[in-house]
Amino acid sequence: MTFGVVEGARGEEFVSAVAGHPFGDIQFTGDRFPLAEVRLVAPMLPSKIVAIGKNYADHVREMGGDEPPAEPVIFSKPSTSVIGPGEAVAYPEKLSQRVDFEGELAVVIGRLCREVPVERAHEVIFGYTCANDVTARDLQKRDGQWTRAKGFDTFCPLGPWIETVLDPSDLAITTTVNGEIRQSGRTSQLLHDVPTLVAYVSAVMTLIPGDVILTGTPAGVGPLTVGDEVSVGIEGIGTLTNRVVSRD
């Protein structure tokens, strides 16, 4: 397993293998593989996933809230919740009867940083990927805090890759279940934009290369069932697809 850079024209993409990790000066090994023959895994295994709740006004309303929060609401997901494209989301049927999808834009940090000013946030961002903040909704409501509901193994699909050249300010984001559109929004609807989130989170904790910030989900969240295929697509990045299986 290795890091690589996706290159080439659409339909003729190949992956150029990278020596070591991509956070710094990239050195290619000389090995190249057709993208169609490569098995993609999660593009990184972060030390931490910092997620933002209630960051789209329409999602706040659908969850029963009246006023959006004045400041970002942060919570975390464990690194053990990360899976990649094509891997299965494991539904913990013995513990939860309501597991929801939440399509999101994910920010990948590229430099060790702390207390980053808003105007310099772009300097510490490595790139962007698709994420699904899978949530056991019944446990979230029961617990009153979100760690258990969002922390199950496989509850943070990431991928299919990291797009390093992208303006995140107004991207279309869509979630489909079995081909049917369930969420459709734009990152321009974020209550707190990407630079603000990087500054806010880094004021609390040190971020290291590979750490991920999930920026929040638009309205339309809903339940998954075993056998479903859920896809999160983001303009300029690609599509992350996972199938739901029973854990029990």
Cα(91)–Cα(136) distance, integer angstroms: 9
pLDDT of the residue at 34: 96
Which CATH architecture best describes the domain 40-246?
Alpha-Beta Complex (3.90)
What is the residue extent of each domain of the chain? 1-38, 40-246
Q: Which residues of the chain have pLDDT under 50?
A: none
| Separation between Cα atoms, residue 155 and residue 132, nearest integer Å | 8
> What pLDDT, on a 0 to 100 scale, did the predictor assign at position 65?
65
pTM to 2 decimal places: 0.96
- Count Cβ atoms below 10 Å from residue 244 Cβ, excluding itself: 21
CA-CA distances (angstroms) from residue 100 to 37, 108, 163, 214? 32, 23, 26, 16
Burial group, residue 201, by CB count within 10 angstroms (0-12, 13-18, 19+): buried
What is the pLDDT at residue 161?
Answer: 98
- Phi, psi of 186, rounded to the nearest 5 degrees: -135, 145
- Is the C-alpha dihedral spanning 173, 137, 242, 226 positive or negative? negative
Q: Is 1 exposed, middle or buried (0-12, 13-18, 19+ CB in 10 A)?
A: exposed
134 near 157, Cβ under 8 Å? yes
